Structure 1
Amino acid sequence: MGGQYRITGDKYPRMRPPRRRGRLVVVGIVSVAVLGVAGWGTLQLVDVFTGTGDKAAANTKAACAQGIKVKPSAAAAVVLPKPAQITVNVFNATPRSGLAKQTADELAKRGFHIGEVGNASKEFDKKVAGTGLLLGPASSLKTSLPVLGTQLAAAELRADAARKGTAVDLVIGTAFKQLTAKPDADKALAALNAPEQAAATKKNGC
C-alpha cells in the first residue's frame, strides 16, 4: 500500500464478529423464568397433597385447571370403629324397670360389646328428658359415639374431657321407647362409614 500509510511486518489485524452479548442475556433471563415457573408449580402440587381446608381445595381446583389429576389425601379420612370394637355401658335413668338389660341385649345382638348394665347414677337418674344420652371421652365424639348414635337416632351426644378409657355410656331417657329399627340403623351405619372424601373429591376434584 503506497502513499503516506504503509503496512510493515508479517502480522495483520484480525476482524472478529462482535460478541452477541444481547442474545446471552436473553437466554439467561428465559432460563431463570422457566426455573421460577417450574418451582412455583412444584410448590403448588406440594400444597395440593399436603394442604388442608380451603387452601387445599383452592390448590386442587388450580391443579385441575392445569389438567393435573389430584387424588384425595388418605390422611384426611377418619376410620370409624366397628360395633364389636365399642364397649357400651347401658344405664337406665327412667322409672321403668328392665330397660337397661333389654337394651343391652339388643345392642349385643347388633354386634356391640356390652360393659356395665344397671341404673343410672344420681347425676342422670330421671334427669334425661330425651330418648337417651350418649356419653364418652373426648376422643369418642367423632368415632365411637356417632357409631352408637346410629342405634338411637334422637339421642344426645356428649363428650366428657375428664373421662378416661374408651368405653361409652348409653343413658336411657324418659322419652325412650326402643332402639332405632335394625334396618334403619344398618342404613345409618353404612352411610356413616361411607367415605366422605369421595363427596369432597367430586365437589373439589377433577
Structure 2
Amino acid sequence: MGGPYRITGDKYPRMRPPRRRGRLAFLATACAVALGLLGWGTLQLIDVFTGGGNPASAAGAKTICSPRASASPRAVAPPEPGRITVNVLNATTRGGLAKKTADELKKRGFRIGEVGNAPKEYDKKVKGAGLLLGPASALKTSLPVLATQLPAAERRTDAARGGAAVDLIIGDAFKELSPEADADRALAALAQPRQEPAKEKEKEKRDC
C-alpha cells in the first residue's frame, strides 16, 4: 500500500483495542467483597433468629428461673432442752430463788448442773431479770433455747469459757420464769425453718 497507508518498519498496526486488565481485576475484587458481605450478613441474621447458639435467648424461647441459692448456710436446728445443762445461780439478796428456778427448769426438760449463789463478779450486780452466760458456741444454740424460759434476760458469751454448760444468773428484777405454755410456743417457733419474706420472693420473680 502506498500513500498514507504505506507500511514501514517490521511491525503491523494494532487492529483491536488493548485489553483492559485493570478493569477485570477491579471487577473480580468487587465480586469477592460483595460475596463476603453477603455471607457476613447471612450469619448475622442467623444469630438474630437463633439467639447466637443459646436456646434460652432464641426468639420465642421461654426463660426459666431456677431458685436462687441462699447466701448463708441453712440454719442448724436448735438443741432440745434435755441436751442443755444449766447452772442456776442467784445474784440477788433473796434466798431460795436458785433452787426454786432450777426445779422448774428441770420439770421443763432441762438438765441441771450447779445450783447456788452467783460468783463475786456477778453477785448483786445483775439489775435486770437475769443473765444468760455461755461459751461462744452457745450463742446460736443453747442460749436461744434457754431464753425461751426467760425472754427478758440478757445474753452474753465468754470466748475463754470451756465446756457446753450455760449459766442462768438470776437478777434483781426476776419474778419468775415465763409461763410454760408461752415457753413451749417460743420453743416451737425457734425450731421452725425461717420463711423467706414475701417481698423478697416477689422481687426474685420480677428479676426473672
TM-score class, shorter-chain normalisation, is 0.5 to 0.7
Q: Which residue of the partner structure matches residue 123 of structure 1? A: 121
1:141 aligns to 2:139 (yes or no): yes
1:77 aligns to 2:74 (yes or no): yes
Higher helix share: 1
Candidates 159, 162, 172, aligned match of 1:161:
159
Amino acid at match of 1:105: D
- Tell me the distance in 1 between the aligned counterparts of 2:161 and 2:39: 71
- Tell me the distance in 2 between the aligned counterparts of 1:84 and 1:194: 18
Amino acid at match of 2:90: N
- Tell me the distance in 2 between the aligned counterparts of 1:188 and 1:179: 13
Q: 1:140 to 1:30 in 2, by over 3 A?
A: same
| Deviation, structure 1 residue 155 | 0.5
Q: Which residue of the partner structure matches residue 30 of structure 1? A: 47
Q: Which residue of the partner structure matches residue 92 of structure 1? A: 90
- Tell me the distance in 1 between the aligned counterparts of 2:52 and 2:193: 40
- Tell me the distance in 1 between the aligned counterparts of 2:37 and 2:163: 73
- Tell me the distance in 2 between the aligned counterparts of 1:181 and 1:155: 15
Q: Which has the larger radius of gyration?
A: 2
Amino acid at match of 2:103: D
- Tell me the distance in 1 between the aligned counterparts of 2:95 and 2:129: 15
Give 1:41-52 correspondences, 5 Å limit.
none
| Deviation, structure 1 residue 106 | 0.9
TM-score, normalised with respect to structure 1: 0.67
Q: 1:22 to 1:181 in 2, by over 3 A?
A: same
Q: Which residue of the partner structure matches residue 62 of structure 1? A: none
Q: 1:91 to 1:22 in 2, by over 3 A?
A: same
Amino acid at match of 2:47: V
Amino acid at match of 2:67: V
TM-score, normalised with respect to structure 2: 0.66
| Uncovered stretches (5+) of structure 2, i.e. residues with no partner | 1-15, 17-30, 58-62
- Tell me the distance in 2 between the aligned counterparts of 1:203 and 1:89: 42
Tell me the secondary structure at the aligned position of residue 196 of structure 2. Answer: helix
Tell me the secondary structure at the aligned position of residue 183 of structure 2. Answer: helix
1:21 aligns to 2:19 (yes or no): no
Q: 1:22 to 1:113 in 2, by over 3 A?
A: farther
Quote the RMSD (CA, aligned, Å): 3.3
Q: Which residue of the partner structure matches residue 196 of structure 2? A: 199
How many pairs does the alignment contain?
165
Amino acid at match of 2:143: L
Tell me the secondary structure at the aligned position of residue 176 of structure 2. Answer: coil
Tell me the secondary structure at the aligned position of residue 103 of structure 2. Answer: helix
| Deviation, structure 1 residue 180 | 0.3
